[in-house]
Amino acid sequence: MRADDYLPHRDPFLFVTELRSVDPGQSATGAWQLTGEEAFFAGHFPGRPTLPGVLMVESLAQLGGVAVLADPRYAGKLPLFGGIEKARFRRLVVPGDLLELEVTLDRMSARAGKGTGRATVKGELACQAELLFVLVDAVPFDQG
């Protein structure tokens, strides 16, 4: 079971490297192994590479997307960010860290939902946030 079995995201913008559990429409757990080879580390910050907080939130959103898209009720849909609330960053995340991810979906409808996510490293809270999303039809983007 892999995140890209559910998500349209692909490298270099797929931030869930391991799925551990999925309860469709309810929750998911997974991880993002940071190797240090990720391109953003070169510029954030030279000499002190640090995972940007917004990418921690994105990794939680992607995991939440897995929980949504694993539910047959949302087949053919794509969850998009509707908002981020109460985001807090508590710990630096650096190359080599394993970012443990967990998301619980709190409220779901046919058009939108809300979830809560937590990211930890070695049991220490790195990030937490409430994630709001809207569901749109997953039709291919016309690049013409």
Domain-by-domain residue ranges, the chain? 3-137
Among this protein's residues, is 44 annotated catalytic?
A: yes
Q: What average pLDDT does the segment 51-62 reach? A: 98
Structure tokens at 131: 């994630």
pLDDT in tens, 2-22: 999 999 999 999 999 999 999
SS3 92: coil
* CATH classification (class only), 3-137: alpha beta
- On the question of pLDDT at 143 being above 80, the answer is no
Beta strands in the chain (DSSP E): 18-23, 27-33, 77-89, 98-108, 112-121, 124-137
Among residues 9, 18, 26, 44, the one annotated as catalytic is: 44
Q: What is the pLDDT of residue 139?
A: 82
In 3D space, the residue among 122, 68, 129, 67 whose CA is nearest the CA of residue 100 turns out to be: 122
DSSP 44: S
SS3 74: helix
Q: What is the pLDDT of residue 116?
A: 98
Please provide the size of the chain in residues. 144
pTM over cut 0.85 = yes
pLDDT in tens, 106-123: 999 999 999 999 999 999
Structure tokens at 98: 């394993």
